[in-house]
Amino acid sequence: GEDVEQSLFLSVREGDSSVINCTYTDSSSTYLYWYKQEPGAGLQLLTYIFSNMDMKQDQRLTVLLNKKDKHLSLRIADTQTGDSAIYFCAGGEAGTALIFGKGTTLSVSS
């Protein structure tokens, strides 16, 4: 089955770029996702990328997918204090369970 690994913590200063990395094992995942969890709340989809894409940009967010290395990254440009949260990488098929990584806690200092 799918296994998803990501680093646990990242600390950046406001205005810098943040890069959160993720590796996965199952190359059959049709979609790969990034979810954001703010304190005391559920998870919300931040962005996703279709497996036949290499890159997706959405305003301050850039997702890069390296299928050969099974590596996914999320870049947040001009990071703000409001971006402080836990970010989860997830993979899976549309019709089956999503497997989540352990989450990366992003801390943004002003």
- Alpha-carbon Rg for the chain in angstroms: 13
Q: Which residues contact 10 (CB under 8 A, 6 or more apart)?
A: 18, 19, 20, 104, 105, 106, 107
Among 41, 51, 58, 77, binds another protein (CB under 8 A): 41
User: With CB under 8 A, what is the number of residues at the site for another protein?
Assistant: 26
Question: Angle 105-107-110 (CA atoms, 0-180°, nearest 5)?
Answer: 170
| Pattern 60-89, another protein, x by CB under 8 A | ----------------------------x-
Residues binding another protein (CB under 8 A): 8, 30-31, 33, 35, 40-45, 48, 88, 90, 92-103
